Amino acid sequence: MCIIPAIDMMATGMNIVRLRENAGLSVRDLQDIFGFATPQAIYKWQHGTAMPTIDNLVVLAAVFDVSIDEIIVVNTDAQVKISA
């Protein structure tokens, strides 16, 4: 067992909600910005059941005027089995 950093998807989702609200944007606003047909992807990001792609993280960072590091929460205590 090796300790490596892992993304905390729930905490990252909470960050997306907080940053979206601080920017005065609705889920529908983000849906329009991304050109998504439905808001489902955004809800999945916010609930921590899915992560935005790298491209979408770049857009979120620009829209929220923050760095990607301010969106993603990394758990450095996660233990992950690495197979060689």
pLDDT of residue 2: 67
CA 58 to chain CA mean position, Å: 10
Number of domains in the chain: 1
| CA pair distance 51, 43, nearest whole angstrom | 10
Q: Give residue 43's domain range.
A: 2-80
The CATH number covering residue 6 comes to: 1.10.260.40
| Per-run averaged pLDDT (10 residues), the chain, 84 residues | 83 98 98 97 98 97 97 81 60
